[in-house]
């Protein structure tokens, strides 16, 4: 069993700047098919990484902190923040991973107690499309942040905040305004919808599942993410059409051709009823 993640309910602005360089990513990201228990292999194609999702299968996003410090991971699925449901942006809430921690995020966060399962489904049935945001269906992304090192006396330790901070009204108003503009029937929107229509599958809002988390303080070392990664996905037949996956095996004409002598003797015909 993987340890539960901690839901970020903390300040955005840093207490101290940080400029540490790491050889690898802060967070490793993988997609797990929960119905088969298999990792979905990643296929590179024209600068993107792709995985093949089976329609109807549940999946989880596995996040692994590769460092000895806490990190914050803002998770975006189909352009939607998997914690808050807002159109995703790096400045929003996310999950805090302890040093070297691995956690599987299996759904849309509904409360501190449960999630609605991630499930590969038809594009039109995806949560993003059903909430009027189809433009970014087909991509899973993370924005990872290092934690600032606060300066305080060891005599006065910083205690966790007992209750979450209220949402910033200005930020919500800006988000609602952006969603309203996105809903306007402009030519650019029509072009974006036409592009999105080629995507075959998206992530649905599945059944509720118990997945408890806690809350904690986290102060970003800087405003911009230390890592931004994304994985694109679609059903296997479209990945074959794009040349990302090899075509499935099909028998040759010789193997399918009729045979003059398929059996050695004549069988009895069916009886009349």
Spatial neighbors of 172 by CB under 8 A, at least 6 apart, are none
Which pLDDT does position 271 carry in this prediction?
A: 72
- Check: CB of residue 121 under 8 Å from CB of residue 144: no
Q: Give Cα 37 distance to the centre of its chain.
A: 17
Could you tell me which residue, 176 or 223, shows the higher pLDDT?
223
**By C-alpha distance, which of 208, 41, 203 is closest to 138?**
203
Interval 139-143 mean pLDDT: 97
Cα dihedral 220/160/64/134 (nearest 10): -70
- Pairing label, strands 6-8, 139-146: unpaired
Which pLDDT does position 258 carry in this prediction?
A: 64
- Check: CB of residue 112 under 8 Å from CB of residue 7: yes
Residue that has been written with the tokens 């809002």 in this structure: 205
Residue 181 scores a pLDDT above 90:
no
Interval 104-128 mean pLDDT: 97
Which pLDDT does position 132 carry in this prediction?
A: 96
Which tokens in the block code for residue 239? 């990945």
Which pLDDT does position 96 carry in this prediction?
A: 97
Could you tell me which residue, 273 or 218, shows the higher pLDDT?
218
**By C-alpha distance, which of 121, 144, 74, 132 is closest to 233?**
121
Which pLDDT does position 171 carry in this prediction?
A: 36
pLDDT tens digit sequence for 196-238: 348 999 999 999 999 999 999 999 999 999 999 999 999 999 9
pTM exceeds 0.85 for this model: no
């Amino acid at each position: 069993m993987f340890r539960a993640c901690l839901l970020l309910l903390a300040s955005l602005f840093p207490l101290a700047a940080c400029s540490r360089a790491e050889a690898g990513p802060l967070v490793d990201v993988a997609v797990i098919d929960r119905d088969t228990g298999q990792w979905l292999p990643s296929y590179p194609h024209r600068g993107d990484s792709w995985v093949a999702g089976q329609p109807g299968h549940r999946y989880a996003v596995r996040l692994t902190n590769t460092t000895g410090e806490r990190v914050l991971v803002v998770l975006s699925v189909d352009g939607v923040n998997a914690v808050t449901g807002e159109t995703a942006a790096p400045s929003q809430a996310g999950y805090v991973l302890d040093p070297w921690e691995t956690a599987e995020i299996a759904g849309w966060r509904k409360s501190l107690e449960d999630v609605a399962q991630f499930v590969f489904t038809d594009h039109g049935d995806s949560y993003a499309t059903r909430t009027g945001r189809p433009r970014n269906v087909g991509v899973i992304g993370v924005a990872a942040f290092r934690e600032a090192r606060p300066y305080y006396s060891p005599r006065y330790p910083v205690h966790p905040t007992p209750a979450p901070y209220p949402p910033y009204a200005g930020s919500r108003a800006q988000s609602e305004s952006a969603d309203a503009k996105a809903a306007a029937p402009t030519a650019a929107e029509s072009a974006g919808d036409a592009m999105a229509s080629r995507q075959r599958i998206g992530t649905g809002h599945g059944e509720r599942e118990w997945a408890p988390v806690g809350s904690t303080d986290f102060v970003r070392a800087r405003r911009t993410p230390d890592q931004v990664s994304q994985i694109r996905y679609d059903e296997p037949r479209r990945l074959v059409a794009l040349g990302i996956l090899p075509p499935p095996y099909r028998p040759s004409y010789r193997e399918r051709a009729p045979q003059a002598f398929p059996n050695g003797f004549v069988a009895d015909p069916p009886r009349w009823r």
